[in-house]
Copies of this chain bind each other. A is one copy, B any other.
Amino acid sequence: MIKKIVFIGAGNLATHLALALKKAGYHILQVYSRTQLSAETLAKQVDADSCCSYEDLRRDADLYIFALSDKALLPVLQALQLKGKKLVHTAGSLPLSVFDDFTTSYGVFYPLQTFSKARQLDFSNIPICIEANGSDLESELIEMGNRISNSVQLLSSHQRKQLHLAAVFTCNFTNHMYHIGEELLREEGMDFDLLKPLILETALKVQEMPAKAAQTGPAVRFDEDVIKAHEESLKMQPDFQKLYRFVSESIYHLHKGK
């Protein structure tokens, strides 16, 4: 059974996940980070040791959770030499097989959410996507998932990669649309607050109905007059203008084609 956990990484995801696991009764032994300050900041919040050199890493944990950038994982794995230990990563786009050469029992524990340190998060609604190379670890990870969330999912590496791609569209690209809205308002002396109820309602609508049914506005009916007037308004911002035309056409085609 998993009781004692070491975190490799102390970023946004590591912070939120470590706090949730600590709250669920797990013992966070240690937090490793390249920089002492990051390691200590998180370690203090979860009553753990901290370390920033490979040789100081504790070897007596039941599970090592890697919460690193995709690029950093491989070099750190090579340096740590954790053969025989149970290892998981938390990345959407990395396959299970990244661990193949490094240990015998390994898996993925991927919480699908956008994490910022400044925001408190309730983990109970966050989907936890699990994969493991053996049924024992799979069961242990499912149990760990169930102790912090009501939505635990078994997904293959292929599915998880597609889910991560879909998350880029629905989170990062969506946030970019908010950002452009904010910029457009600022230009004309208006406050971003004006858009906040609209942003929230747009997100609430698709909790209840398919996104296709929720679509409104000039693009879905391809109202050429409004679209042209908007493009004219954007003539000084060719990047936004191109994006406007491109997304409008994409909306129209996706609705016409289905």
Footprint of B on A, CB under 8 Å?
Answer: 12, 69-71, 93, 112-116, 118-119, 121, 125-127, 151, 153, 155, 158-159, 161-163, 165-185, 187-190, 192, 194-220, 223, 225-226, 229-230, 233-234, 239-240, 242-244, 246-247, 250-251, 253-254
Contact = CB atoms under 8 A, between A and B. Distances in A.
A171 to B, nearest CB: 5
A165 B234 contact: yes
B225 A199 contact: no
B230 A168 contact: yes
Contacts of A242: 246
B218 A168 contact: yes
Contacts of A127: 194, 197
Nearest to A183: B254
B190 A171 contact: no
Contacts of A170: 177-178, 180-181, 195, 198-199, 202
B114 A198 contact: yes
Nearest to A221: B69
Contacts of A213: 116
Quick one: copies of this chain in the complex?
Answer: 2
20 contacts: A71-B225, A112-B197, A162-B184, A163-B194, A166-B195, A167-B217, A168-B218, A168-B230, A170-B177, A170-B178, A171-B202, A171-B216, A172-B217, A172-B220, A179-B251, A179-B254, A192-B210, A192-B211, A196-B206, A242-B246
B179 A174 contact: no
A121 B192 contact: no
The 9 closest A-B pairs by CB, nearest first: A203-B203, A172-B217, A179-B211, A170-B181, A166-B181, A178-B211, A166-B184, A162-B188, A125-B197
Given A168-B218, A217-B172, A162 B182 contact: no
A114 B205 contact: yes
A176 B234 contact: no
